[in-house]
Amino acid sequence: MRKQLPPEMLARDSRFVRTSIMDQVMDPRNQKIGERDLGSARLEPQRPAAADRARNLMHGIFTGEIQALEGAGRTTFDFDDEQAPFALKLDMARQCWDESRHVEISVKLGDWMGTEIGEYSEATFLYEAACAPDPILRLCGVNRALEGLAIDVFNTMREFGDLSGDPVLEFCEDWMLADEVTHVKMGSDWLRRLTADDPERRERALDFQRTVDKLFSLGGFRGESDDNPIQLARNFRSMAGFSTDEIDELAEIAAQAQADAQAMSTGSQ
């Protein structure tokens, strides 16, 4: 079996349609939308198009769970025991079990909300972060950055379920959120253990995490203001082992990503 599987080789059936980040960045509507006052971007039931926005996000969670499964699965296989301790691989195997369950839950939530598998395009940049050649970079990019994003997303969806009085959505998101907290903590713990005597490697890994965090804050997707659809979940991140300084830094990264997007929009006018 091949090691280091590239994103284009991920197995998908004909229902799935792939999109690239460039499709989103180069969309000619971006700058025009930036000129509009569309009010708060928060995902809330009383906001216009709430049902379609929730369905869209739920499908994004579904494809994200598939890629998280694939990423954790690759980490159990791509490295020998010198590169990644067996106990780390056991943690990744356990995470695979969680992600498989999340995929199933997401499919059922899609059914509940009236969405079909593959209805929305799939971007693979989550899996791309799981292709780093150093297992510690993967743990920072996937477990700390992307599973951290999952905490923010699940918390946002859980609140959406609560606000709309949807018991199924709220319950499912709460369960998945609990798992994500353990995945992030796993990444934080292994980062500290494996780089205890190698501060340079730790810094490289944290740099990679910052890059991924900035990518996933693209255009203000995640942050702490009304302009951000996904809200930074400080409390759950703290439970997952993030220090207050780390959360503050992430908030700054998100704010910078939003400012960059606005500057890009203004500059292209």
- Alpha-carbon radius of gyration of the chain: 18
Cβ–Cβ < 8 Å for 228, 221? yes
What are the φ/ψ torsions at residue 29 (nearest 5 degrees)? -80, -15
* Choice from 21, 51, 87, 263 touching another protein (CB under 8 A): 51
46 binds another protein per the rule CB under 8 A: yes
Cβ–Cβ < 8 Å for 214, 146? no
Cβ–Cβ < 8 Å for 189, 143? no
How far is it, in rounded angstroms, from Cα 233 to Cα 239?
10
190 binds another protein per the rule CB under 8 A: no
Residue 61 CB, nearest distance to another protein (Å)? 14
108 binds another protein per the rule CB under 8 A: no
* Choice from 21, 33, 90, 259 touching another protein (CB under 8 A): 33
- DSSP, residue by residue, 38-87: ----S--TTSTTHHHHHHHHHHHHHHHHHHHHHHHHHHHHHS-TTTS-HH
45 binds another protein per the rule CB under 8 A: yes
* Choice from 7, 100, 159, 164 touching another protein (CB under 8 A): 164
Exposed e or buried b for every residue in 6-22, given b needs 16+ CB within 10 A? ebeeeeeeeebeeeeee
Tokens of 33: 């939308």
> Candidates 73-81, 94-102, 165-173, 235-243 — which segment interacts with another protein by CB under 8 A?
165-173
Strand partners, 222: 230
133 binds another protein per the rule CB under 8 A: no
56 or 211, CB closer to another protein?
A: 56
52 or 81, CB closer to another protein?
A: 52
* Choice from 14, 36, 196, 199 touching another protein (CB under 8 A): 36
> Candidates 28-36, 92-100, 205-213, 256-264 — which segment interacts with another protein by CB under 8 A?
28-36
184 or 261, CB closer to another protein?
A: 261
112 binds another protein per the rule CB under 8 A: yes
* Choice from 81, 104, 116, 203 touching another protein (CB under 8 A): 116
In 3D space, the residue among 61, 84, 69, 196 whose CA is nearest the CA of residue 137 turns out to be: 84
Q: Where does this chain bind another protein (CB under 8 A)?
A: 17, 19, 23-24, 27-29, 32-33, 36, 38-39, 45-53, 55-56, 111-116, 118-121, 163-167
